[in-house]
């Protein structure tokens, strides 16, 4: 693992393995689980008449707002915390891919729910997250300002599926093939592998 002198101010170490701080770990797994739930089980509204859609999006928009709030907190925490050090002996190209995937995740984790939220104000049907309050209380014809953010919202979630596949396979490859304790950075309770 990388020298502890290159440590950022909030990191900790377990043996020779860099470990994320507890708040970063909590954000990672809670937001990850919510995003996977939200992306893989979206409401089946495509092709449905607009007037039948409100009950379908009630839960989705509520969860989207919660995810957006958590992602904002996570970004603030990331900016205070700084980047994690590279795992020793990782080829530079792999490190660059990992950093690019992490950055793309941060951008999409923020923009995808934000654009979903923005689209609600011009939605052609009523939207009340968790039935608690109205973001849009009138049905009207769909406009460009609904269709554009909705389109980006949907494409953003598709790109995140691709990133999730790359990110998860890379984590598993490092953990079980390279055996460099990478997963212990995000799950410190895992038993250490050899050379730690």
User: Rounded distance, CA 20 to CA 37, Å?
Assistant: 24
* Angle of helix 54-81 versus helix 92-120 axis, rounded to 10: 140
| Site for ligand HEM contains 59 (CB under 6 A) | no
For the beta carbon of residue 130, count every other beta carbon within 10 angstroms.
Answer: 12
H helices within the chain, ranges in order? 22-40, 54-81, 92-120, 144-173, 182-186
- Based on the shown chain and the rule CB under 6 A, indicate whether residue 172 belongs to the binding site for ligand HEM: yes
Shortest Å distance, C-beta 76 to ligand HEM:
12
Which residues contact residue 175 at a Cβ distance below 8 angstroms, ignoring those fewer than 6 apart? 181, 182, 183, 193
Size of the site for ligand HEM (CB under 6 A): 21
* 89-118: contacts with ligand HEM (CB under 6 A): 98, 102, 105-106, 109
| 5 to 34: interface string for ligand HEM, x by CB under 6 A | -------------------x---x---x--
Q: Specify the stretch interacting with ligand HEM by CB under 6 A; choose among 6-14, 117-125, 167-175, 188-196.
A: 167-175
- Chain contacts with ligand HEM (rule: CB under 6 A): 24, 28, 32, 35-36, 78, 84, 98, 102, 105-106, 109, 164, 167-168, 171-172, 182-183, 185-186
């Amino acid at each position: 693992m990388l020298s502890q002198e290159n440590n950022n101010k909030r990191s900790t170490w377990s043996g020779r393995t860099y470990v994320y701080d507890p708040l970063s770990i909590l954000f990672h797994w809670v937001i990850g689980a919510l995003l996977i739930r939200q992306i893989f089980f979206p409401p089946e509204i495509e092709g449905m008449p607009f007037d039948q859609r409100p009950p379908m999006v009630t839960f989705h928009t509520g969860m989207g707002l919660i995810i957006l709030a958590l992602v904002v907190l996570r970004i603030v925490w990331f900016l205070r915390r700084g980047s994690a050090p590279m795992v020793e002996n990782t080829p530079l190209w792999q490190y660059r891919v990992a950093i690019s995937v992490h950055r793309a995740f941060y951008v999409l984790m923020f923009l995808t729910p934000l654009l979903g939220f923005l689209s609600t104000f011009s939605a052609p049907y009523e939207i009340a997250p968790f039935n608690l309050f109205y973001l849009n209380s009138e049905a009207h014809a769909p406009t460009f300002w609904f269709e554009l953010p909705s389109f980006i919202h949907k494409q953003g979630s598709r790109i995140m599926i691709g990133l999730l596949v790359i990110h998860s396979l890379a984590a598993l490859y490092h953990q079980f093939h390279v055996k460099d304790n990478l997963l212990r950075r995000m799950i410190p309770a895992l038993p250490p592998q050899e050379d730690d």
